[in-house]
Amino acid sequence: MRVEVRSRVPGGDRLPDVLVELAREQTTVGELIRAAVAEQVRAWQADSTRCRALLDRQYLTDEDIRAQAGTGVIRMPDRQAAAPDVEAEVARAWRAFERGTFALFVGGRQLDLLDEEIVLRLGEPVVFVRLTALVGG
């Protein structure tokens, strides 16, 4: 089954929409995230610097940002950035999902747990939405 996964980030560049191939209609949230992240990395493998920046924008958690800030500066990746490691990016996306950095919607319903079983239907929208705090509150 092929499922289109759309990524949305308020106010800027975002990861490309990707078609994810799944063996069956029933899967878990975690496996859907794994498949989507792997395809997002493949879609941008020719431009690893841009891929790194987009992955950071979508999946970098508040804790990751605070850790970088502790070094005195939060930097964009070097122009010589190495190609993203799919397994490392999947693990980071799982952490970000669990911490509420982004939300996942399937058929208009928000999903909350990585091990939650879902049944995907042909043509049903799957959307990853990066969540950001509103200014002033």
pTM for this predicted structure: 0.74
Token digits for 17? 């929409």
Q: How many domains does the chain have?
A: 1
Residue 44 falls inside a structural domain: yes
Q: Any idea which residue has 């979508």 for tokens?
A: 58
Confidence of residue 84 (pLDDT cuts 50, 70, 90): confident
Q: 3-class SS at 110?
A: strand
Determine the structural domain holding residue 67 and report its residue range: 2-130
CA distance 124 to 55: 24
Residue 135 falls inside a structural domain: no
List b or e across 2-16, with b for residues whose CB sees 16 or more CB atoms inside 10 angstroms: ebebbbebeeeebbe
Confidence of residue 73 (pLDDT cuts 50, 70, 90): low
Residue 20 falls inside a structural domain: yes
Residue 7 falls inside a structural domain: yes
Q: 3-class SS at 22?
A: coil
Residue 93 falls inside a structural domain: yes
pLDDT at residue 49 tops 80: no
Residue 111 falls inside a structural domain: yes
Per the CB < 8 A criterion, the answer to whether 56 and 77 are in contact is yes
